[in-house]
Amino acid sequence: MRVLVTGGAGFIGSHVNKLLLDQGHSVTVVDDLSKGHQDSIDARVDFHQIGLENQEELEKILPGHDGVIHMASFIEVGESVKKPVEFAQNNIVGTVKLLEAMKNANVKKMIFSSSACVYGKPEKLPITEEDPLGEQENPYGITKVTMEEFCKLFHTLHNFDVTILRYFNPYGPGELHEPETHAIPNFVKSALTKTPIPLFWKGEQIRDFIFIDDLAQAHILALTLTGLHIYNVGTESGVKVADVVKQIFEIVGYEVPIDDKGERKGDVPALVASSEKLKKELGWNAKVNLEEGLKKTIEFFKNQNL
C-alpha cells in the first residue's frame, strides 16, 4: 500500500514509517518539523516539509495514496494549558483541513492517533472502548476528543474508513521531545546523567506502558480495515510509576536521588487498557515486556549526548 504519514518525523511516526517500509509499503511523510526531527526520517520515504494548515499542498500530495496515518499534533499537556488557541488551531483545525484534503483527493482511509486521555478519570479498570469519555481537564484532551469526532463525522458524511487508536503510555528508543514531558525518557535521562529523578505523586500513579514497536504494529494491522473502528492499545498490565523507577535503577546498577514534585493537577490515579478487542479483531499482541523495553530504551539514551 501507499501510505501518507503525518507527523512522520516524530517519535511514534518514525517507528511506524520503518515498520511500513520493512513490510513492503511505500511511505510519504508530511511534517513541518516544528516538533519532529529530520534525523528521524527514514531515507526511503518521500518527505514533504509542510504543515497541515497548507490544505492546497496536501491536495497535491495525497492523490494515489491508499490511506493516511495521522499523528501530527501538539502533545504537551502543560503547554496546552498555556496555549489553548495554538493547540486548537494546530490539532483540531489541522485535522479538519487534512480530512477535507483527503476528501477532495478521494483518499478515504484514516488511521488516527488518539489517546487514553479521552477517557478522563476512568470509572473502572481496565478501560474498554465502550466506556464513556470523561470530563477533560486540559485543552490537549479536548483536542483529541474533537479530532476523534471529526474523523467519525467524515466516516458518516463521506464514507471514510476510520480506525481510531487510543494509545496508553508509549515509550521506547527515539523519544526526543522538546520539552520532554513523558515519564520514562525523563527517568532514564536523569538516571544516566546521575541527576535527581522528577517524580509526581511519589510515583503512586498506575500506568499501562506500551513499547513503541508493539504500538507501531497496531497501525499496520489497521490498514486492512473498512468501516469505523476504535481500539485501545495497551499491555493490559498496570504498573506503579515508582516501580518503573526501581526497574531502571536495577538495570543501570545504581540509584540516584528522587526529586519529589508533589501533586500535579490533571493526573488521574490509574490508567490500564483492555486491549481484548484489538487482539480479537486484528490478532495484535504486546510482545515486549517492561523490563526488555526499558533495557532497549536505556541503551538508546546511552548513545545520545546527554
Residues labelled as active-site residues: 140
Ramachandran angles phi, psi of 258, nearest 5°: -100, 130
Burial (CB < 10 A; 0-12, 13-18, 19+), residue 209, is buried
Amino acid symbol at 86 = E
Q: Tell which residue, 102, 90, 150, 115, has the closest CA to residue 4.
A: 102
DSSP 132: P
CB–CB of 281/236 below 8 Å?
Answer: no
Q: Cα–Cα–Cα angle for 97, 143, 17, nearest 5°?
A: 65
Residue 268, all three cell numbers: 488521574
DSSP 75: -
CB–CB of 139/85 below 8 Å?
Answer: no
Is omega for the bond preceding 185 within 30 degrees of 0, making it cis?
no
What's the distance, Cα to Cα, between the start and end of the chain in Å?
A: 38
Rounded to whole angstroms, the Cα distance separating 182 from 90 reads: 21
